[in-house]
Structure 1
Amino acid sequence: MPATLDPNLAVGAILFVLGAIGVLTRRNLILIMLSAEMMLNGVALTLVTFSQMHGNNRGQIFTVFVLTVAACEAGLGLSLILALYHRTKTLDVNLWASIREPDISAPAPDAPSLTPPTDIRDYPRLTPSGGMPDLDGAERTLLADKNETRQTSLPA
């Protein structure tokens, strides 16, 4: 292995690690996107270095695809960030709880709750083919009334 390839691998690894640290520690979404781009550039540099080390151009060809995907990701990600910024007027990731589903409450950031939820909902279940659904009394009479009117309206 030539001595000139070791610094390239080291720079690629440093770029990837610094990008990963940025993704995990930043709160500003634009800085998170820049850190992800730095990770992709570290991977691209490593691919080119290994391609040169082995004497073929497959790593360089794959790097072109990686950089193309990175450009698409940057364009799409920045357009989503712009739309979210117009909605919330902030780029702080932690303050974007308003895009959460309306009936799901935000988790408490202080301490995790180990108690089971008290409001357990009984969601309807699909019945097997040919069976009657499991309904409560009011829904059962409603269904029976509809079936009687349907049967009486048919010609004999």
Structure 2
Amino acid sequence: MSPNLDPNLAIAAVLFVLGAAGVLMRRNLIVIVLSTELMLHGVSLTLVTFSRMHGNNLGQVFTIFVLTVSACEAGLALALVLTLYQRTKSLDVNLWSAIREPDLPGPPPDDPMRIDPMDIRDMPRLTPAGKLPDLGGGDRTLLASGPDALRPGSRGQV
């Protein structure tokens, strides 16, 4: 390993740890978004460092994709921040529970649509590919297709 690359990996690790600490310890939505961006930049620096260490460009190409996803994430996060601030006039993450939908009640205990796990054997099953379906002992003839089906006097059966 080249001695010039060790500081890059150390900086990437510090960026990632600081970002993770910001996500876990803060309640302000903007700080959380910035912390996730910090984590993504730490990962990007690691990818570029390992790419340079191994002498290929795959890590650098992947870093471009990571930064693109990071930009999209920042745009979506900004939209969520604006929505939360318009509704609650605060950026506290704990207020997200105030804008969620109310909990729906569960199904009643005597619901006729409820499936008993023991009744699974009575459920209809699909016929395996290449086999004719069992129609309960009925007629197992197939309708003909193609030019033979349209002949005069033909009943359209094989």
> What is the Cα deviation at residue 122 of structure 1?
2.5
Measure the CA separation in 2 of the matches of 1:13 and 1:95: 32
**Corresponding residue number in structure 2 for 1:10:** 10
Higher relative contact order (CA closer than 8 Å, sequence separation 6+):
1
- Distance change in 2, residues 1:127/1:30 (3 Å): closer
5+ long unaligned stretches in structure 1: 105-118, 129-156
Measure the CA separation in 1 of the matches of 2:87 and 2:41: 31
> What is the Cα deviation at residue 120 of structure 1?
9.2
Within a 5 Å distance, the mapping from 1:69-148 to structure 2 comes to 69-103=69-103, 121-122=108-109, 124-126=111-113
Over the residues paired in the alignment, what is the CA RMSD in angstroms?
2.1
Measure the CA separation in 2 of the matches of 1:125 and 1:70: 48
Measure the CA separation in 1 of the matches of 2:15 and 2:30: 17
Measure the CA separation in 2 of the matches of 1:13 and 1:24: 16
Give CA-to-partner distance per residue, 1:59-103, whole Å, 9 cap, x none.
000000000000000001111110111011100011232123224
> What is the Cα deviation at residue 44 of structure 1?
0.1
SS at match of 2:111: coil
- Distance change in 2, residues 1:123/1:103 (3 Å): farther
> Where do 4+ consecutive residues of structure 1 move more than 4 Å?
none
Within a 5 Å distance, the mapping from 1:3-42 to structure 2 comes to 3-42=3-42
Structure of larger gyration radius:
2
5+ long unaligned stretches in structure 2: 116-158
State which drifts further: 38-47 or 81-90: 81-90
| Paired residue type of 1:54 | H
Structure-1-length-normalised TM-score: 0.68
